[in-house]
Amino acid sequence: MIDFLFNPKGRVSQKGLFVFLAAMVAWKFGAGALHTTLGPSVALNVALPLIGLLLLWPKFAVPAKRLHDAGRTGWWVILGPLILIIAGGVGGLMAVLEVTTLEEIASGIEPDEAAVAAAMQQAPAKYWILIASYAGIALTALTGLLPANDGDNKYGVDPRQDGGLGLGS
């Protein structure tokens, strides 16, 4: 299981990816329910983010293996976060430009932070971030729907050969 979660080399089947994604969704709901039920506490406020940080690498490694199963490079998993960063930057720039001008920024005048924060909550700035989130979900779904290479490929053996979840190696 450690190799499945933390090693980006090898292949994983569609079924294996969707089991992983279901576990991640269950983790999110479970962590949210735990936090809501028990209320804010120092232990939860430390433990939940640390577990989330620990799960950050598998969120890249497992989809990379799924891309390997389809005969593609795993570097494509960077596309989702890249879209989110670019959209966040565009949304942030739009919010800044709602409260100031490029000339004021160029002359060193700092925009009012409260006004920028308020502008981030308004459309269209927040729509850029929302669109990027949906794009990330769509990319993950497309990763899972890519047809697999039959048999072994340059990334490893066919994960469906084990007859189980197709976790592969």
Which has more pLDDT, 29 or 165? 29
**pLDDT surpasses 60 at 132:** yes
Q: Report the distance separating Cα 40 and Cα 103, nearest Å.
A: 44
Q: Report the distance separating Cα 100 and Cα 113, nearest Å.
A: 11
Helix, strand, coil shares of the chain as percentages rounded to 5?
Answer: 70, 0, 30
Confidence of residue 169 (pLDDT cuts 50, 70, 90): low
Is pTM beyond 0.85? Reply is no
Residues with Cβ within 8 Å of 106's Cβ and at least 6 positions away in sequence, in order, are none
- Select the highest-mean-pLDDT range: 11-25, 27-41, 93-107, 126-140: 11-25
Under 8 Å between Cβ of 63 and 140: yes
**pLDDT surpasses 60 at 146:** yes
